[in-house]
């Protein structure tokens, strides 16, 4: 390899490392702002008492197996995710919240999703604050 080619690889590798370090992580959400964003979810979900509404309670969702809330009737599509072992962790929620119907085709959830990545991170931070 030439010296110039090697130098370019080193520069690009360094730049990639800096950009990855500067990217917001899931944990960078603001729970207080997430509580405000959660208002969009409150018509169907609650996150305080563990009570199902139109949708299942989201209290304690982070770390919980998908489709596992007692007393809630899930769609077959959501049950299949749970049967496959899916757990609602930060990465799964980050993939689901922007477009629930695309992530789980056949879900009963009618919500169009949270399109703003910061709102997604904030809601996840809020949900994590309600174990």
The end-to-end CA distance of the chain, in Å, is: 54
| Residue 42 placed within a domain | yes
108-128 confidence digits (pLDDT tens): 999 999 999 999 999 999 999
Number of domains in the chain: 1
Residue 105: domain span = 26-128
> In this structure, what CATH number is given to the domain that contains residue 70?
1.10.760.10
Phi–psi pair at 74, nearest 5 degrees: -85, 160
| Residue 16 placed within a domain | no
| Residue 13 placed within a domain | no
| Residue 7 placed within a domain | no
Query: Tokens representing 40?
Result: 């969009």
| Residue 3 placed within a domain | no
88-113 confidence digits (pLDDT tens): 999 999 999 999 999 999 999 999 99
pLDDT, position 1: 52
| Residue 100 placed within a domain | yes
| Residue 1 placed within a domain | no
Which of the pair, 18 or 57, is modelled with greater confidence?
A: 57
| Residue 44 placed within a domain | yes
């Amino acid at each position: 390899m030439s010296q110039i080619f090697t130098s370019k690889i080193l520069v690009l590798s360094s730049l990639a490392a800096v950009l990855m370090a500067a990217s917001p992580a899931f944990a960078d959400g603001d729970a207080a702002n997430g509580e405000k964003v959660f208002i969009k979810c409150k018509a169907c979900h609650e996150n305080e008492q563990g009570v199902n509404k139109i949708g299942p309670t989201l209290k304690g969702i982070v770390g919980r197996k998908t489709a596992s809330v007692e007393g809630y009737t899930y769609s077959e599509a959501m049950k299949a995710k749970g049967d496959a072992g899916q757990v609602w962790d930060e990465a799964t929620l980050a993939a689901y919240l922007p477009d629930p119907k695309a992530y789980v085709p056949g879900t009963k959830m009618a919500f169009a999703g949270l399109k703003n990545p910061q709102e997604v991170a904030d809601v996840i931070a809020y949900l994590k604050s309600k174990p």
